Amino acid sequence: MSTIAFIGLGNMGGGMAANLVKAGQTVIAYDLVQAALDRAAGHGCRIAASAAEAVGEADVVITMLPAGAHVRQVWSADVIPHARQGTLLIDCSTIDVDSARAVAEAASAAGFRAADAPVSGGIMAADAGTLAFMVGCADEVFAEVEQVLTPMARAVIHAGGAGAGQAAKICNNMVLGVSMLGVCEGFALAEKLGLDPERFFDIASKSSGQCWSLTTYCPWPGPVPTAPSNRNYEGGFLANLMLKDLKLAQAAAAASGASTPLGAQAEALYALFAGLGHGDKDFSAVLQMLRGKLEELA
Ligand code: NAD
């Protein structure tokens, strides 16, 4: 059994740390917010007075923080200077590829094994231990990373070297943002043409329009009972988080010279939707903006 320092026990990290405790690991938790620490203590984590204190006792450090700036700051000030030699360092936050590579390089220069391991799956998957992890690390480190992450996972996939996990995550979520908008436009046009949306679903789901956004996460209420569209788009994957990932994809496209015009359109549409005050709805709620029926989101 390992001693794991877990830094960042918010919506995602809280459930993830709880699953590590359930698997028999000793988890030393640190967060800036007292309520997050209280919840972690309730799940059986030991609470540290600082990130440095948590890190100093650990065999493994996991960070689950909002964005690249937080990860750079915590890894440079707390993790790398205070970890014991031999400690495995894993960042599970969704951050920009450059920050992921920068912290991996700093860790490697200080003699540590490190991985970026962002997740697919939201708060429910974090609580249930069914996240998909996309891992960027050296080949010889992957087996060890996989073993640590397994109690929180339905899948742990090696994407490549440092930063490859973040690259896989933002490419996947750009596909998702574009495909959701395509499905929403299909429903909006079907409605204007007088086509029954349920019939359109039946036909498109058995035709070449079939995709995850249509058949697993249908934005039109009704055809897929488990989709957030059936509960006024509450919960699920927030439009604000989709916007964050689309911004990361556009920044990566600009830096690498990739051509992603549909990703740029998706970013603009989700920025508009969030700017209209609906960023805390599930991302499939963008259907109501395209239908001109935002009042239905009240
Ligand atoms: P959150 O804001 O709920 O949690 C982040 C936590 O980090 C907070 O509790 C905050 O207090 C803590 N924190 C910030 N700076 C800190 C510091 N210096 N030291 C210690 N703690 C610090 O965010 P979340 O929803 O848990 O998301 C975490 C990451 O996972 C993000 O990068 C997000 O993009 C990604 N993600 C989220 C979801 C989701 O559905 N929420 C899904 C997939 C990926």
Model-level pTM greater than 0.95? no
Both structure tokens of 118: 């962002």
Question: What mean pLDDT do residues 155-160 have?
Answer: 98
The CB of 235 under 6 Å from ligand 1? The reply is no
Dist CA 42 CA 141 (whole Å): 32
Model pLDDT, residue 124: 87
Model pLDDT, residue 1: 82
The CB of 250 under 6 Å from ligand 1? The reply is no
Q: Are 104 and 162 in contact (CB under 8 A)?
A: yes
Model pLDDT, residue 298: 72
Name residue 104's amino acid: A
Model pLDDT, residue 45: 98
Quick: pLDDT tens for 80-101.
Answer: 999 999 999 999 999 999 999 9
Write the residue with the smallest CA distance to atom 8 of ligand 1: 10
Cα(6) to ligand 1 centroid in Å equals 12
Catalytic-labelled residue, pool 169, 192, 206, 244: 169
Is 247 considered catalytic here? no
The CB of 177 under 6 Å from ligand 1? The reply is no
Dist CA 191 CA 291 (whole Å): 9
Residues 6+ apart with CB under 8 A from 274: 239, 240, 243
- Give all domains of the chain, ordered by start, each with its CATH number: 3-161 (3.40.50.720), 167-297 (1.10.1040.10)
CA distance to 33, 189, 212, per residue, from 201 (Å): 44, 13, 12
Dist CA 275 CA 271 (whole Å): 6
Q: Which atom of ligand 1 is nearest to the CA of 73?
A: 18
Both structure tokens of 163: 């930063």
